[in-house]
């Protein structure tokens, strides 16, 4: 993409090392908080401000306040060698004196910075010590010629250890100075209605706030920049969508015979929501345009059956279908769920993951290429080069947010005019649905199938761990099955592992072989053995696990879920985990164990879990508590990260950006008008690679 970036943007896509003060030592800190290019610093907004305009005489400077003063340097008092006494410098004016205090001050440096007999501008917090004024480590010491650079309202930026406010402030100011004036891409009437400034002016304004209200999301320049970012997101999705729509799909129409056989084999009828969703999917398959639809359903709402029936509609039409899932455990589970139903319909379903090797793999791939396998279930192994389908016309992608857009396109590219159905059990708030899936039609499963029982959720302090372990032991004696999920330690899988292994050892000492362990670092065969022992008749009744079991693991007999350190998990993740129980017609109990004291956010999160099982309510609450980037548990590859837009504050702007993008595409699909050309610059500015590639490849 960079090869065709407009030259006007080149200065913004230079490395941050081109900015003053950012050398090899500091670059890693700047990259950590913002990114590697100058443009990333433009999006790094201030979170507070310091007013340095107060400029009293020394004798009038009140303690506890930030003051900017012109002083004469009167005397240096370096500490004796190897003493812990600070370095002191006496300064003053005609109204009084103030001592500057430096801990570990370098004599040569301080004598150069503050030569006796000369005047300097100092700025920092005034303190009283033994009745005398002093200032420890002034924030600024500059010659009189630079007084205007200091006497201002100074923005305060989020920092990381190793980076000083002064260095970052200087770098951001230099980045803003490099920003060019750009052609206007906003609709003139819409811009006027909101009273928004031009892009360049808005950028300068957000980095020079004069008061607290100018830090808020609704400040006009900030709202304008947020809209720019949202418009780039919506326009990018619309362009990718347009390209997929323009590529001819093909009409897939089955006769319903295979679906009828599976429906007869099911022990229950479809819910109204399932029937509706299936109808929408089959209608899409029957049209000439390519399908791109999101099937959104809460944990256990019956998405898999809907997906199977849709895949069978493709098989009825004589073509192949594929189901891609994020993990090997899940691929195996889906295969085991689908196989008996496919057998009833006389359809061959197979599973392909990284662990299928050698002659068996070669034979399976040959059968897929020959069209003998009608439905193939697998992990990302499905879109590897060696996998050739005879005629792939329908692809289902489960837990889409674990995959990026590219992977979605790669799987679709395995066939010609392939219809794509994307599924997620992570309930996503409407605003996030627009930002992540704005290029898709949406079907929602908002009813639970028969047989799903309520789960009683309770909160308990980790101090009651022994009591809870005894309760689990009692449940095991009466034949109960229990998941015990160990704490999530974000930075380290090894710590996760240690926690799981320690809990496993503790419970095994009490209950012996009735306890099994599963975690991400185990070999596939070990994971299978643990799952088989827990889900079948292997004797394990307690499964100690890391979050490996979060998605899709299905053991209908499991009725109890214990989650240690529940305060460390996101709401969506807790909801996913809880969805593993209450599946087999028996009600379940979920115990959320927390380490006191809880932060306010953690408390609100756990109380939401206790009070509701509605995934969509939970998702909206999660968005409120944690913001868009975090809602899907960890930051996932398929989700956009917003730097300027705040989805809670700018929800209405998102809807407007979507409508604007639709209008732009309808009037100027190749972005060739003057506004279209300006919008191309916007897409480059926000690094919407996929969309620009789409435009370039027509």
Name the residue with higher pLDDT: 624 or 461: 461
Provide the pLDDT for residue 442: 84
Task: Clarify whether residues 389 and 336 are in a common domain.
Answer: yes
- Residue range 36-49, pLDDT digits in tens: 899 999 999 999 99
Whether residue 240 is predicted with pLDDT greater than 80 in this model: the reply is no
Does 322 share its domain with 175?
Answer: no
Mean pLDDT of the region 272-300: 89
Residue 438 placed within a domain: yes
**Least confident residue range of 518-522, 583-587, 609-613, 649-653:** 583-587
Residue 331, domain extent: 257-445
Mean pLDDT confidence for 261-284: 93
Which of 542, 539, 662, 695 shows the shortest CA–CA distance to 187?
A: 662
pLDDT at 167 over 70: yes
What is the rounded distance in angstroms from the CA atom of residue 392 to the CA atom of residue 363? 18
Q: Output 550 or 302, whichever has higher pLDDT.
A: 302
pLDDT of residue 626: 60
**How far is Cα 321 from Cα 373, in angstroms, rounded to an integer?**
9
Q: Are 124 and 138 in contact (CB under 8 A)?
A: yes
- Burial (0-12, 13-18, 19+ Cβ within 10 Å), 96: middle
Q: In what order do the strands lie in the sheet with 375-378?
A: 349-352, 375-378, 320-324, 392-398, 419-424, 292-297, 441-445
Q: Residue 32 and residue 595: Cα distance in Å, rounded?
A: 30
Report the alpha-carbon distance of residue 118 to residue 104 in Å, rounded.
Answer: 23
Cis peptide before 49 (omega within 30 of 0): no
Domain-embedded: residue 664: no
Over 50: is that where the pLDDT of 108 sits?
yes
Predicted local distance difference test score (pLDDT) of residue 180:
95
pLDDT at 542 over 80: yes
- For residue range 567-578, what is the model confidence (pLDDT) as tens digits? 888 887 888 888
In terms of pLDDT, which residue wins out, 121 or 531? 121
> Quick check: 547 and 351 in contact, CB under 8 A?
no
Residues 265 and 372 grouped into a single domain = yes
Domain boundary among the residues 591, 612, 633 is at: 612
Region 604-627: mean pLDDT is 80
- pLDDT(597) > 50: yes
Is there a single domain that holds both residue 383 and residue 512?
A: no
* Co-location of 403 and 363 in the same domain: yes
H or E stretch at 375: strand 375-378
Mapped onto helix, strand or coil, the DSSP state of residue 420 is strand
Res 400 pLDDT > 60 = no
54 in Cβ contact with 65 (< 8 Å): yes
Flag whether 626 is in a domain: no
Instruction: Show which of 412, 445, 478 is a domain's final residue.
Output: 445
Label residues 28-66 b or e (16+ Cβ within 10 Å = b): ebbbeebbebbbbbbbbbbeebeebeeeeebeebeeeeb
Higher pLDDT, 37 or 105: 37
- Decide: helix, strand or coil at residue 334: helix
CA distance readout (Å), 593 to 461, 487, 495, 589: 5, 10, 18, 13
Nearest of 150, 168, 170 to residue 158 by alpha carbon? 168
**3-state SS string for 471-533:** HHHHHHHCCCEEEEECCCCCCCHHHHHHHHHHHHHHHHHHHHHHEEEECCCCCHHHHHHHHHH
Rounded to the nearest 5°, which phi and psi values hold at 186?
-80, 150
Q: Are residues 31 and 73 in the same domain?
A: no
Please determine, for residue 528, whether its predicted confidence score (pLDDT) is greater than 90. Answer: no
pLDDT of residue 1: 41
Computed over every residue of the chain, the mean pLDDT equals 86
SS (H, E, C) 98-119: EEEEECCCCHHHHHHHCCCCCE
Indicate if the pLDDT at residue 627 is higher than 60: no
d(CA 396, CA 401) in angstroms, rounded, equals 13
* pLDDT over 70 (residue 184): yes
The answer to which of 392-401, 505-514, 628-637 has the lowest mean pLDDT is 628-637
619 pLDDT above the threshold of 90: no
- Which stretches does DSSP call E strand in 104-159? 119-125, 127-129, 132-136, 140-142, 153-156
In a domain, 478, yes or no: yes
Which CATH number goes with the domain that contains 131? 2.40.50.140
Provide the pLDDT for residue 635.
38
98, β-bridge pairs: 91
pLDDT of residue 57: 96
Q: Are residues 296 and 427 in the same domain?
A: yes
Q: What is the pLDDT of residues 33-85, one digit of tens each?
A: 888 899 999 999 999 999 999 999 999 999 999 999 999 999 999 998 888 89
Answer with the residue of higher pLDDT: 307 or 414.
307
Return the CATH number at 510. Answer: 3.40.50.300
Highest mean pLDDT, choosing among 225-234, 289-298, 594-603: 225-234
Same domain, yes or no: 418 and 290: yes
* Residue written as token pair 């006009």: 220
Question: Across the strands, what pairs with 96?
Answer: 93
pLDDT above 70 covers a percentage of the chain that reads 88
The structure tokens listed for 631 are 């809602």
Terminal-residue alpha carbon distance, the chain: 14
- Residue 431 sits in the same domain as residue 488: no
Q: Are residues 440 and 493 in the same domain?
A: no
Q: Are 488 and 547 in contact (CB under 8 A)?
A: yes
pLDDT tens-digit readout, 467-526: 999 999 999 988 889 999 987 554 455 565 667 888 888 899 888 889 998 887 788 788
Would you say residue 107 has pLDDT above 80? yes
Task: Name residues whose C-beta falls within 8 Å of residue 237's C-beta, 6 or more positions apart in sequence.
Answer: 438, 439, 661, 691
What are residue 591's DSSP bridge partners? 458, 562
Q: Are residues 372 and 511 in the same domain?
A: no
Region of 55 please: left (phi>0), alpha (psi -120 to 50) or beta: beta
Q: Does residue 637 surpass a pLDDT of 50?
A: no
In a domain, 433, yes or no: yes
The pLDDT, as a whole number, for residue 580 is 83
pLDDT at residue 696 greater than cutoff 60: no
C-alpha distances in Å from residue 476, one per residue of 382, 505, 507, 527, 543: 40, 17, 12, 22, 12
Binning pLDDT at 50, 70 and 90, where does residue 636 land? Answer: very low
Looking at residue 496, what is its pLDDT?
A: 58
Q: Can you give the pLDDT at residue 74?
A: 97
pLDDT at 405: 57
* The two three-digit tokens of residue 119, written as one number: 């005047």
Residue 418 lies in a domain: yes
**pTM, two decimal places:** 0.66
Residues 376 and 502 in one domain: no
d(CA 251, CA 360): 34
Instruction: Tell me the per-residue pLDDT of 338-351, one tens digit each, with 9 for 90 and over.
Output: 999 999 999 999 99
Q: Which of 424, 445, 466 is the last residue of a domain?
A: 445
Residue partners of 656: CB distance under 8 A and separation at least 6:
190, 227
Q: Is 91 inside a domain boundary? A: yes
Number of domain units in the chain: 4
Q: Which residue has the higher pLDDT, 454 or 243?
A: 454
Question: How far apart are the C-alpha atoms of 690 and 683, rounded to whole Å?
Answer: 10
pLDDT average, residue stretch 284-313: 88
Question: Among 108-122, 156-170, 183-197, 233-247, whose mean pLDDT is lowest?
Answer: 233-247
Candidate from 221-235, 382-396, 425-439, 666-680 with smallest mean pLDDT = 425-439
637 touches 617 (CB < 8 A): no
d(CA 375, CA 234): 34
Task: Give a yes or no: residue 624 inside a domain.
Answer: no
Could you tell me which of 271, 664, 622, 638 has the C-alpha nearest to residue 440?
638
Highest averaged pLDDT of the listed ranges 244-253, 438-447, 451-460 = 451-460
């Amino acid at each position: 993409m960079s090869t065709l970036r407009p030259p006007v943007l080149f200065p913004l896509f230079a490395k941050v090392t081109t900015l003053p003060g950012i050398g090899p030592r500091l670059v890693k800190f700047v990259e950590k908080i913002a990114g590697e290019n100058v443009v990333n610093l433009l999006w790094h907004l201030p979170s507070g401000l310091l007013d340095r305009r107060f400029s009293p005489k020394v004798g009038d400077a009140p303690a506890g306040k930030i003051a900017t003063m012109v002083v004469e340097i009167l005397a240096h008092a370096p500490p004796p060698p190897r003493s812990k006494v600070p370095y002191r410098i006496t300064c003053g004016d005609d109204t009084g004196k103030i001592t500057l205090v430096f801990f570990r001050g370098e004599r040569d440096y301080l004598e150069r910075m503050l030569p006796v007999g000369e005047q300097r501008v100092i700025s920092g917090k005034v303190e009283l010590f033994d009745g005398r004024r002093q200032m420890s480590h002034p924030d600024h010491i500059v010659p009189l010629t630079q007084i205007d650079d200091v006497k201002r309202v100074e923005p305060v930026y989020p920092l990381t250890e190793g980076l000083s406010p002064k260095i970052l402030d200087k770098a951001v100011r230099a980045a803003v100075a490099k920003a060019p004036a750009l052609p206007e891409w906003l609709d003139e009437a819409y811009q006027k209605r909101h009273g928004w400034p031009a892009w360049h002016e808005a950028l300068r304004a957000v980095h020079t706030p004069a008061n607290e209200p100018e830090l808020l999301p609704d400040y006009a320049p900030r709202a304008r920049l947020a809209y720019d970012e949202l418009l780039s997101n919506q326009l990018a999705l619309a362009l990718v969508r347009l390209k997929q729509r323009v590529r001819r799909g093909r009409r897939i129409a089955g006769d319903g015979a295979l679906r009828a056989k599976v429906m007869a084999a099911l022990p229950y009828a479809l819910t109204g929501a399932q029937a509706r969703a299936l109808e929408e999917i089959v209608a899409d398959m029957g049209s000439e345009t390519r399908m791109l639809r999101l099937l959104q359903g809460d944990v256990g709402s019956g998405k898999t059956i809907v997906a199977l029936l849709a895949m069978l509609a493709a098989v009825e039409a004589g073509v192949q279908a594929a189901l891609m899932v994020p993990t090997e455990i899940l691929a195996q589970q889906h295969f085991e769920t689908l196989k008996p139903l496919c057998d009833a319909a006389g359809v061959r379903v197979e599973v392909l993951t990284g662990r299928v090797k050698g002659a068996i793999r070669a034979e399976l791939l040959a059968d897929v290429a020959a069209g003998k396998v009608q439905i193939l279930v697998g992990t990302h192994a499905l879109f590897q080069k060696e996998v050739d389908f005879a005629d792939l016309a329908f692809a289902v992608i489960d837990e889409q947010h674990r995959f990026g857009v590219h992977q979605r396109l790669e799987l679709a590219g395995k066939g010609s005019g392939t219809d794509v159905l994307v599924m997620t059990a992570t309930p996503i708030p409407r605003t996030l649905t627009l930002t992540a899936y704005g290029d898709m039609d949406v079907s929602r499963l908002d009813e639970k199938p028969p047989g799903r029982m309520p789960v009683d959720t309770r909160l308990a302090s980790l101090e009651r761990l022994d009591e809870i372990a005894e309760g689990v032991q009692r449940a095991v004696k009466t034949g109960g099955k229990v998941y015990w999920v160990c704490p999530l330690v974000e930075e380290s899988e090894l710590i996760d592992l240690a926690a799981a292994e320690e809990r496993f050892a503790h419970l095994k000492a009490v209950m012996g072989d009735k306890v099994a362990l599963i975690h991400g670092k185990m070999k596939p065969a070990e994971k299978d053995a643990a799952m088989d022992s827990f889900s079948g008749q292997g004797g394990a009744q307690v499964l100690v696990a890391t979050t490996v079991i979060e998605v899709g693991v299905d053991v209908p007999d499991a009725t109890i879920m214990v989650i240690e350190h529940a305060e460390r998990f996101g709401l969506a993740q807790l909801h996913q985990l809880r969805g593993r129980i209450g599946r087999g017609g028996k009600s379940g109990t979920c115990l959320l164990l927390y380490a006191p004291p809880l932060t306010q956010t953690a408390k609100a999160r756990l109380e939401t879990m206790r009070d509701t099982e509605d995934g969509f309510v939970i998702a909206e609450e999660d968005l409120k508590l944690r913001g868009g980037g975090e809602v899907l548990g960890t930051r996932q590859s398929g989700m956009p990260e917003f730097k300027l837009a705040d989805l809670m504050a700018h929800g209405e702007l998102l809807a407007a950006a979507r409508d604007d993008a639709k209008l732009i595409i309808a009037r100027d699909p190749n972005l060739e008008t003057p506004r279209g050309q300006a919008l191309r610059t916007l897409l480059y500015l926000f690094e919407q690679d996929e969309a620009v590639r789409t435009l370039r490849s027509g």
